[in-house]
Amino acid sequence: MTGPDVPAALHATDLGFRYRARGDWALRDCGFTVPRGSITALVGRNGAGKSTLLHLAGGLLRPTHGEIRVLDTAPDTAAARTRVALLTQDRPLYPRFTVADTLRMGGKLNSAWDHPVAERVVREGGTALTARVGELSPGQRTRVSLALALGKRPELLLLDEPLADLDPVVRAEIMATLMAEAADREVSIVLSSHVLPDLEQTCDRVVLLRAGRVELSEDTDALREGHTLVTGHIDGEPSLREHAVVHRRTHGRQLTALVRPRGPLGGDWHVERPGLEEILLGHLRSGAESTKEAA
């Protein structure tokens, strides 16, 4: 649910960011709202601007123009830093520290530190507190990083590709931990991910970036209800012209299309309700084809 009366965890207005060294825009004219209490997936192809957006929300970068606010305050303020946690792709940890040392450091750096929560997140992954960080598996290091973020007791948790280097079992465990935190502590979560199947049952909102611009910012239920997957003979394609065809593919004389209907569908089509993964893939593929045509 969004609207003027719904508190925002993250809000952007005409947001843009330009890297001075390269001179190109990583983000341009971005506007969206993430409501508090939601788990939002930030989706896009490589180079779409996902990491830049999360770094702006985490206060590591400042906008070139426009505005971004977290929990109704600027991201680079002391108030925001105590309420927002950002887990970046590089997961900065000291390899010579033990896990226990790392958690103690988290306690010294954060005034509202919740040591039992941080330790529980680590222990749920079967990681010994005496183990050195540099000897941990990628999944265990992700758990330690997540423990540091959750031990901070954030109101907004920003995660940049937290699942990228994890096997399916560990991914499921991490997502279960995130869902539990969102439910039990009402933590708002924004996570970027290329692992689309894991988003189907966990995220209730999607922000999709294409070439630095926001293409979609919708509730997942609205996305599912607003898209239709049709299959039929290619001769029926003219009946789709009055609708928004997100992506189409053909196999011989058979056409399959992901459509946002603008009214009743004419023609002789087999109609299905697509899942979230298929909807997102359709938009991402459409974006790739548009880029090729422009080039």
User: How confident is the model at residue 5, as a pLDDT?
Assistant: 57
Angle formed at CA 252 by CA 251 and CA 253, multiple of 5 degrees: 105
| Residue that is last in its domain, among 181, 206, 222 | 222
120 and 63 in a single domain? The answer is yes
Q: Which CATH number covers residue 156? A: 3.40.50.300
Residue 247 lies in a domain: yes
Q: What is the pLDDT of residue 6?
A: 63
Gap between the Cα atoms of 41 and 223, Å rounded: 13
The reply to whether 142 and 197 lie within a common domain is yes
Q: Are residues 47 and 177 in the same domain?
A: yes
Clarify whether residues 207 and 78 are in a common domain. Answer: yes
Q: What is the pLDDT of residue 290?
A: 41
| The pLDDT of residue 248 | 95
Final residue belonging to a domain, choices 197, 222, 247: 222
Same-domain pairing of 258 and 117:
no
- pLDDT tens digits for 55-114? 999 999 999 999 999 999 999 999 899 999 999 888 789 999 999 999 999 999 998 899
Verify that 102 and 243 share a domain, yes or no: no
Do 76 and 51 lie in a common domain? yes
Domain end position, chosen among 222, 237, 260: 222
Q: Are 204 and 189 in contact (CB under 8 A)?
A: no
Assess if residue 99 is contained within a domain.
yes
Q: What sign for the dihedral angle of Cα 57, 170, 147, 203?
A: positive
Q: Give the H/E segment covering residue 292.
A: helix 276-294
- Clarify whether residues 119 and 180 are in a common domain: yes
Q: Is 3 within the bounds of a domain?
A: no
Give residue 287's pLDDT. 56
Count of structural domains within the chain: 2
> Which residues in the chain show pLDDT less than 50?
1-3, 289-295
- Write b or e for each residue in 245-255: b if 16 or more Cβ atoms lie within 10 A of its Cβ, otherwise e: ebbbeeeeeeb
Tokens at 160, concatenated: 């940049």
In this structure, the answer to whether residues 110 and 214 fall within a common structural domain is yes
How many CA atoms lie less than 13 Å away from 269 in the CB half-sphere? Answer: 23
The 10 Å Cβ neighbour count of residue 225 is: 10
If you write DSSP's letter for every residue of 63-75 in order, what string do you get? -SEEEEEETTB-T
> Which residues does 8 contact at the CB level (< 8 Å), separation at least 6?
33, 34, 35, 36, 69, 71, 72
Are residues 212 and 276 both part of a single domain? Answer: no
Domain around 119: 8-222
Are residues 42 and 134 both part of a single domain?
Answer: yes
Note whether residue 1 is domain-resident: no
8 Å CB contact between 15 and 34: no
Does residue 245 share a domain with residue 218?
no
pLDDT of residue 295: 34
